[in-house]
Each structure stands twice: as structure tokens, then as C-alpha cells.
Amino acid sequence: MDYRKAGVDIDAGNEVVRRIRGLARGTFTPRVLSDLGSFGGLFRLGSVGTDPVLVASADGVGTKLRVAFMTGVHDTIGIDLVNHCVNDILVQGAEPLFFLDYLATGRLDPDVAVQIVTGLAEGCRQNGCALLGGETAEMPGFYADGEYDVAGFIVGLVDRAHLIDGSRIVAGDVLIGVPSSGLHTNGYSLARSIAFDRLGLGVGDHVVELGTTVGAALLAPHRSYLPLVRPLLRDGAIKGMAHITGGGITDNLPRVLPEGTEAVVDLGAWEVPPVFRWLASAGSVPQSDMLRTFNMGIGLVIVVAASDQDRVLRTLEEPGARVIGEIRRGPQPQVRYAGGVGV
């Protein structure tokens, strides 16, 4: 017996490192002081702001991975992961500094691993952060052949004076909804159950209502909101932001509301994208479940004073961004819905 016969191929791991080294180096910024292969990544803060605050987050992409396994498309999962993490720290006003990944699999396939890291590197380049390092774990007998899990860890920076924490939100403020690019990285257990189990579809099947295949619709990459929001991070207009992930608007927006306030969201303020209407109809999913499972076409909610809404909308330069509700006095931070939604 040897390690390779036991299921761990060290040579394959070294081959992955060799092939991804250039991908990671391509994301390095002048503040990176280390190279791949170090036991830890080195990143120089320098003199940034007057009271710099580090903001960190970790996440995964859930069972969206299952769709990647089914399609054999692995180069968008990394983009999903980076953008999800970027958005999670963006809502507190932070811009990303560096990113780390963890990839675990039963049997390391260098081609698949390179596809994943290609997506990670592309996501990091798009967001201006360094892919500082990571870990690849080969765990035979733990993951089924051809399957893997991937997680991301991000560190960003915001000057304390520009920290966005929702504390300035008051009744009369408005909610600006920014469109999503699809399911992003949440609700896939329900979506897969509807598409593959209930309807018996395959990833290559074309759906008229979607205008594309099931696989393409479900693999649409998670959008980063940093390019849109960056110009507004330091001018004080944004009082709070919520990244609409698992739990939908229902559970995520209250996380940024202060005591004594609630959000009233007008469900008729935006057109729900076809993928959500299709899932609701095909799965006979109750509206309340749709609103707590999916983003329903709104991936980011920004809270601003009513007097700032026009300027903020102009600065966002996003045609689909619009006012979707307001803040009112309430017994506790919560979301109440008004109007109707086309699902």
C-alpha cells in the first residue's frame, strides 16, 4: 500500500498548484508580499484611512455545485463564490483586499480544479482583490467520485468613518432595489427538486419560458455589486444595505434595520424575472416560500434618505435599479409586503 493507492495523489496536487500559480499571481496587487507556496499569505495594509477596520466573511455556493457536477461546467462556480463574499462585506462599506479558497474533493481532477480556480481568479480580478492563497484537500471516501465542495474567505477594509451599519436608518427612508442576475447562490435545493425531480428535466433541456436550457439558467453567475456601489461608499448617502441571499428579502433586510423600524416592500415595484415565475408555477410554491427562498430578482437593497434617492439612482447607473419600498416606524425590524407579485 502507498498513499496513491489509498486514494490521495500528491503528484496530482502538485500539478494543480503548478497550473494555478499563474492564475493566482495574475490577481496580485502591490500590497501582496508573499508568493504561492508560503505557509501564510502576506498582505501589507500600509497607511490606509485614519481608523481602518477590517471586515471579513466566509461562505460557499451551496447545492449550486450539484448543477455544476451535472453540466460539467466548473469555471463559473469560482466567480459565484468570490462575488457572494464581496457582496457580504460590501454591505458594510468595505472594499475587498484579498481572498482565500478551500477546495475539498474525493479524487483530485487537475482539469476540474483548474477550471474552479480560473473562476476564482476571474472573480478576484473583476473585484480588484488578490487571490492570496488557499487549500486543496483530497479526501477519498469522504466525497463521491466527481464531486467537491468549495468555500471562500474574504478580508476587506473600510475606514471607520465610512462604516455602513444601518444605525442612521429612520422612518421615511426609501428602499432601492438592485436587480439580481438570477438565483445567485441560494434556493438551489428547491430549484433542483422542481426542475429535475418534479419535472424530470435534464440540464440540457430547453425551457421556452426561460429562453435557454435549465443548466444555463441555473448556472447564471452571482452578480457583484461593488462596481455599482463603489462611487457611493464614502459620501454618506447610503444608510444601510442588505445582500439578498438565503432567506430572501424577508429575512435579510431586517438584519440592517434598527429597533423601532420596519420595511414595507411593494411587490409590484419590479418585474419578477422569468426563472422565478417558472419555478413558482412548476413547483406550485406558495408566494411566502418564494419570498423566503429566492431573491426574486432583487439581489441588493440599499436604504437612503428620500431626498437622496434620485442622486443615488443616477450614480448607480443601473437601469433596473428602482425604489421598491420605504422604512416606517414599527414594533421590530421586519418586512411587510404590499401590492402583488407576478409569480
CA distance 79 to 57: 16
What residues contact 142, with CB distance under 8 A and at least 6 apart?
A: 104, 106
Give the three cell numbers for residue 299. 439581489
CA distance 220 to 329: 37
Q: Which residue has 438565483 as its cell numbers?
A: 183
DSSP-derived pairing of the beta strands 130-138 and 95-105: parallel
Contact 67, 215 (CB under 8 A): yes
Each residue's pLDDT tens digit in the chain (343 positions)?
A: 554 655 656 677 677 777 777 788 888 888 888 777 666 777 888 766 678 889 999 999 999 999 999 999 999 999 999 999 999 999 999 999 999 999 999 999 999 999 999 999 999 999 999 999 999 999 998 999 899 999 999 999 999 899 999 999 999 999 999 999 999 999 999 999 999 999 999 999 999 999 999 999 999 999 999 999 999 999 999 999 999 999 999 999 999 999 999 999 999 999 999 999 999 999 999 999 999 999 999 999 999 999 999 999 999 999 999 999 999 999 999 999 998 655 5
- Threshold 0.85, pTM exceeds: yes
Q: Where are the alpha helices (DSSP H) in the chain?
A: 10-25, 64-71, 77-90, 110-127, 188-192, 214-218, 226-229, 248-252, 274-283, 287-293, 309-316
Number of Cβ within 10 Å of residue 267's Cβ equals 19
What residues contact 17, with CB distance under 8 A and at least 6 apart?
A: 36, 37, 136
CA distance 320 to 242: 17
Contact 337, 291 (CB under 8 A): yes
Give the three cell numbers for residue 62. 451551496
CA distance 249 to 218: 20
Nearest to 301 by CA among 343, 247, 220, 238: 238
Nearest to 224 by CA among 105, 32, 90: 90
CA distance 184 to 276: 12
Number of Cβ within 10 Å of residue 149's Cβ equals 16
In angstroms, the first-to-last Cα distance of the chain is 58
Assign 271 to helix, strand or coil: coil
Number of Cβ within 10 Å of residue 7's Cβ equals 14
Give the three cell numbers for residue 225. 455589486
Please say whether the dihedral angle defined by the alpha carbons of residues 249, 250, 255 and 258, taken in this order, is positive or negative.
positive
Nearest to 56 by CA among 104, 84, 94, 103: 94
pLDDT of residue 49: 65
Angle between helices 110-127 and 77-90 (to 10 degrees): 30
Catalogue all structural domains in the chain, each as residue range(s) with its CATH number.
10-162 (3.30.1330.10), 174-338 (3.90.650.10)
Nearest to 24 by CA among 86, 92, 99: 99
CA distance 313 to 238: 11
